[in-house]
Structure 1
Amino acid sequence: MAVARAAGGRRRVTGGAGRLFMTLRLPDRTGAAKMALEFARALRADGFDLTLVHGAVPRPSILPDVEALGVTTVLEPRLERPWDPRLVPALADRVRRDGGRCVIGVNQRDRAPALLAAARAAVPGVLMVQNQHHFWGPRPLAALKRRGYRAVVARSTTLAVCTSAVVQEEMTGFGVPPGRTVVLPNGIAVPPPVRLAPAERARLRAEMGAGADDLLLVNVGRLDPQKGQDVLLAALDGLPAPVHVALVGSAGDSVAARRTRGYASALHRQVRDLGLERAVTFLGWRDDVARLLAAADGYVHTARWEGPALPLAVMEAMAAGCPTVFTDCSGRPPVFEPGRDGLLAVSEDPASVRERIAELAALPPAERAAMGAAGAALIRAHYRVEDLGRTFSRLVRGVLDGG
């Protein structure tokens, strides 16, 4: 491995609990990487030293934030090729050489190498199972990937930390003993509310393409079949209410670049074919999502699959006070009451999404505001990342103690 970096020339803070290793094939700023960052923050606060082994660096990336925590980061290009026979020995050698006590795998593509390296280094292997599993490629190749993954996780997982009961059931279906799984939902650092001056709000709404009488909904996520923006566009077709949707995100996964670029092109064609040019705006990647949410009337999320029942993008919208429509692709969230905290649609069902959007559009502004406030209160009470990070660190300590 190569290119180890300490935190920007800062003096590294040494913990007293030993060194952990974390693998992260894609250190971008999407959900799994954000949770890796927050759990790294909790582990550092709990006294652990940490090395993050990552793949190619996209833009934007979490690496500056990770390094600011005093985490050592190591670029390992072979994470882009997890079948490379040199990857596992190299990772295991580094774990042994640096006295690593545990290896934590994050992305689906790096979990099997993380577990194999942990076994080779004779340390526990922990998985952050952030998403439901999908194995891409022609059917024989996808089946081969699934069999290989199942064989590794069934044999080598010390603990699988799953974001929902749906994900937990997948892991036990792969052969991981139930006693080696636990459900821990994702969480967010609840930000202070964003207050926009009327002129700024009007400017942002115009930038997102909304008319004066439109109900403006924001959707945040990379343009990818998983996120189901095509389902959302199908739901807008024939919607009687004046609704405008701003799609925030771009196609950019370095592994699935061809697929995501093709999907993005298909979305643009779908907008033209359905005559939705006046109802949909593609904004691309934005770093001012909090301000966009403050200018919107609501949020919509139509993913085909996720890991957590409340995806991070949905939680961030709820925390911002946006009334939300989202799909049940990972089950119904605990302590969530549809109609009070938000509106739940059936996954991959445009008619169901259309009904929920129409229901939101029909609410008087005061009732939409009340729904947004209830969702924000739910996030503050149950999904604070500081609390969940501390729980994750306790789980890791339990693994190290043999619990």
Structure 2
Amino acid sequence: MTVPDERLFMTLRRPDRTGAPRMALEFARALRADGLDLTLVHGPLPRTGPSILPDVAGVGVRTVLEPRLERPWDPRLVRALAARVRRDGGRCVIGVNQSDRAPALLAAARAGVPGVLMVQNQHRFHGPRPLAAAKRRSYQAVVARHTTLAVCTSTVVRDEMTAFGVPAERTVVLPNGISVPAPVALTGAERARLRGQMGAGEGDLLLLNVGRLDPQKGQDLLLAALDGVPAPVHVALVGDAVATRRSADHEAVLHRQVRRLGLERRVSFPGWRDDVPRLLAAADGYVHTARWEGPALPLSVLEAMAAGCPTVFTDCSGRPPVFEEGRDGLLARSEDPTSIRERIAELAAMPPADRAAMGAAGAELVRAHYRVEDLGRTFSRLVRGVLDAG
């Protein structure tokens, strides 16, 4: 039976199924397997797309709606979080999204317990310049003073946290990982059907890009790179805009860019799909052109590699450790359409056997170094260490 001094809280402003919530789910699974009781305090459900909450509840985590997480600057949010932690005997608060990390740390400090951060992404502070600068100063002041441990997805992210004033000894690098799925076998007819749904012609090289439509993910850079690729390459942008004006505006920009570049027959927008593993099995490759990320190998890239897809992705979070360029995948320069174009052309020019060999090498890399079960156990040990240190 779980004892009171093992109760933890986790905050998650946006309980959708993007990268950070999915890693929060896997770390929650590991904490529960380690016998820790966990409550997820979350913001409102996503307006579009599925929520991670049913999965979280499925691993035995209690979920609690806190509408004020939609307005993380609301001073009543910290008081409410701290009161809940004290009332339920919580021993630690774990903040996930950038926007809910400061309230999580302040609530932990008010409740007299440690504050742990899952720093999944590089930091961006949006809004007019004075507002963005004020957000940065406020965030920096809180994390520098109140972070007990920052679990960072890459050295790039850890360097940001130490630049904010978090002592290096309070940071650790733990990459993201995935639960490696069993191989997906498609019949010829199903493969042709799925490729048709993605808009690919019979002779096209089908490349997938999976993720929310957002400036961070750089789909506009991918379209700019695709313009001028000589091979018959078709790109399917699988995903939707999330419920922010920035994301919705970006989706509109992408559609205008496709029309302006005359790419209507080479680019498709299938929207959100819940059969991505089958789409990966039907594709010839995967391309990821983000401007910034947290891990050097983002979740979508890991999933593509695990599925045996040869991948092109940007070095926006540095070069992945234990990654061999040209064997495990192809690395392009971040925010450089010319570099992305060259890598796509290189992939397209490979004989099918060489692309298959690259896909197999990437899959082996993921199996050897990025199994989320192993990384989850490490995260749970880190949290146990925080609890033991008091």
Alignment of 1:302-317 (within 5 A): 302-317=289-304
User: Match for residue 257 of structure 2?
Assistant: 270
User: Match for residue 22 of structure 1?
Assistant: 10
Q: Which runs of 5+ in 2 are unaligned?
A: none
Q: CA–CA distance in 1 between the matches of 2:2 and 2:45?
A: 25
Residue 299 (1) aligns with residue 286 (2): yes
Query: Which AA in structure 1 matches 2:232?
Result: P
Q: CA–CA distance in 1 between the matches of 2:45 and 2:38?
A: 19
Q: CA–CA distance in 1 between the matches of 2:35 and 2:313?
A: 38
Q: CA–CA distance in 1 between the matches of 2:267 and 2:57?
A: 38
* Residues paired across the two proteins, number: 388
Deviation at 1:14, TM superposition (A): 3.9
Query: Which AA in structure 2 matches 1:23?
Result: T
Q: Which moved more, 1:227-236 or 1:66-75?
A: 66-75
Residue 105 (1) aligns with residue 105 (2): no
Residue 42 (1) aligns with residue 30 (2): yes
Residue 134 (1) aligns with residue 121 (2): no
Task: Select 2:337's aligned residue among 350, 354, 357.
Answer: 350
> Residues 394 and 211 from structure 1, CA distance in 2 versus in 1: closer, same or farther, beyond 3 angstroms?
same
- Deviation digits for residues 272-302 of structure 1 (CA, Å, limit 9, x no counterpart): 0000001100111110111110000000000
Deviation at 1:316, TM superposition (A): 0.3
Task: Select 2:62's aligned residue among 66, 69, 72.
Answer: 72
- Deviation digits for residues 163-216 of structure 1 (CA, Å, limit 9, x no counterpart): 000000000000000000000000000010110000000011111111111110
Q: CA–CA distance in 2 between the matches of 1:284 and 1:14?
A: 42
Q: CA–CA distance in 2 between the matches of 1:70 and 1:246?
A: 36
8 Å CA contact 1:22–1:106 kept in 2: the answer is: yes
Query: Which AA in structure 2 matches 1:49?
Result: D
Q: CA–CA distance in 2 between the matches of 1:259 and 1:129?
A: 22
User: Match for residue 104 of structure 2?
Assistant: 114
Deviation at 1:85, TM superposition (A): 1.1
Query: Which AA in structure 1 matches 2:262?
Result: G
Query: What's the RMSD between the two structures over aligned residues?
Result: 1.0
Give every structure 1 segment of 4 or more consecutive aligned residues whose post-TM-superposition deviation is greater than 3 Å. Answer: 13-17
Alignment of 1:135-154 (within 5 A): 135-154=125-144
8 Å CA contact 1:15–1:44 kept in 2: the answer is: no
Structure 2 length-normalised TM: 0.98
Deviation at 1:258, TM superposition (A): 1.2
Deviation at 1:376, TM superposition (A): 0.2
Task: Select 1:392's aligned residue among 365, 379, 390.
Answer: 379
Residue 246 (1) aligns with residue 236 (2): yes
- Percent identity reads 82
Alignment of 1:156-305 (within 5 A): 156-252=146-242, 254=243, 257-305=244-292
Structure 1 length-normalised TM: 0.95
8 Å CA contact 1:17–1:49 kept in 2: the answer is: no
Deviation at 1:15, TM superposition (A): 6.2
- Deviation digits for residues 243-282 of structure 1 (CA, Å, limit 9, x no counterpart): 0000001101x3xx11111110010000000000011001
Q: CA–CA distance in 2 between the matches of 1:135 and 1:78?
A: 20
Q: CA–CA distance in 1 between the matches of 2:74 and 2:293?
A: 28
Deviation at 1:17, TM superposition (A): 6.2
